[in-house]
Amino acid sequence: MTQGYGYGGSVSIDPNRFELKRAAPRGFDQAYVHERADVTGRRVALLCVHGWPESKRIFWKVIEPFVAAGFDVIVPDLRGFGDSARAPDGRYDTVAHARDLFALVHDHLGYDKVVVVGGDLGGPVIQDMALRYPAFVERMVLFNSPLPYDKERMAEMSGTRAPRESADYFLRQGTDPERLAQELSTSVARRAYISTFYTSRFWAHPGTFSPDDVNFHTEPFGDADTLRDSFGAYESAFDPSKRPEPTVMGRNDVTPTLVLFGPSDHVIYPAFDRMAAVTFGRHVGPFLLRDCGHFVPWEAPHALVSGTVAFCADLLSQD
């Protein structure tokens, strides 16, 4: 890891900024970054889980600040994404990802407890982990993520459904992934498709992503297999055979959860903050992030770091 850190500049889009590591605790080659804090006493593991259309690179701005604060930071590429290999069993559902990350952090790296951070697809993954492995996940930081729908508690809320006009990608990727992948037949076409989620689809706050930023985040999706595999999570939402093991994602009254929300997001529920407040019985916040949309680690890195550090101050201060 290079000396010093900041939240912007050319270092944020250097793909080689951090050492790439690999492990195969679940039978496939999973790529990850693992940066350890210079601390004595108890080590606090922080697992950062990306969403779609992202890779581990979405956390590039926050890795060094988190390490400087005292965390051991683990940032993987999910199966099929970025530098990780394709799934040997063809599964890309929430439970497969959750089990992968438990095996990586607990079994391979040897941490008994972890703080998890995530949004988008990473949100359901860490929500499943928190209930599947309650003794392992001691805290959760959640932003701009799908949530379980609680009809009783959310019935009177407006804005509990994502904007209908933004659902076309979801339906196509979930129900017609093969033809969509065939249509995106070149690296240029694949990256152009992915670039819209950072720009014209208004998932991010307007103007957040420069052309260089967009190039950095779309580069992994130039690969045909990566793009096709990334549709797997959407397929699992429509096809039960793609999710043979049910998720345990649901209301959580156990895990202390910091809820952050970038309200400029045009794809997640407008009422995400209120929905999350009733989903997580032990929540802190929700805190709304000004001029921030879907990609919180990139759009509001200081808020994510400072909020997480404050939320975990007692863990970080233990000897």
| Residue 172 CB contacts under 8 Å (≥ 6 apart), including other chains | 180
pLDDT digits over 241-285, tens only?
999 999 999 999 999 999 999 999 999 999 999 999 999 999 999
Res 2: pLDDT: 37
Helix ranges, the chain (H) = 63-69, 94-102, 122-132, 151-154, 168-175, 177-183, 187-195, 211-218, 224-230, 232-238, 272-279, 296-299, 301-311, 313-316
Query: What was the pLDDT predicted at 155?
Result: 80
Provide the strand spans (E) within 27-158: 30-35, 44-49, 71-76, 114-119, 137-143
What CA–CA distance (Å, rounded) separates 102 from 155? 34
Over residues 7-14, the mean pLDDT reads 77
What is the tens place of the pLDDT at every residue in 223-239?
999 999 999 999 999 99
Which tokens is 310 given?
């404050």
Q: Are 141 and 307 in contact (CB under 8 A)?
A: yes
- Residue 10 CA to residue 237 CA, distance in Å, equals 37
Model pTM?
0.95
Residue ranges per domain, the chain?
11-162+246-316
Q: Which amino acid makes up residue 64? A: E
Q: Are 112 and 106 in contact (CB under 8 A)?
A: yes
| pLDDT for 290 beyond 50 | yes
> With bands split at pLDDT 50, 70 and 90, how would you rate the model's confidence at 166?
confident
Q: Which CATH class is domain 11-162+246-316?
A: alpha beta
Residue 160 in this model has a pLDDT that exceeds 90: no
Window from 112-116, 153-157, 187-191 with minimum mean pLDDT: 153-157
Q: Say whether pLDDT at 6 is over 80.
A: no
Residues 6 or more apart whose Cβ sits within 8 Å of residue 116: 46, 47, 49, 126, 129, 130, 137, 139, 140, 141
Q: Please report the pLDDT score of residue 8 as a whole number.
A: 66
CA 141/CA 134 separation, integer angstroms:
15
- Would the pLDDT of 170 be above 60? yes
Phi and psi at residue 47, to the nearest 5°: -100, 120
How much of the chain, in percent, has pLDDT values that exceed 70? 96
For residue 63, the number of C-alpha atoms closer than 13 Å in the C-beta half-sphere is: 26
pLDDT tops 60 at residue 4: no
Residue 5 has pLDDT above 60, yes or no: no
**How much is the pLDDT for 1?**
38
Rounded mean pLDDT of the chain? Answer: 94
- Contact (CB, 8 A) for 278 and 252: no
Percent of the chain with pLDDT over 90: 88
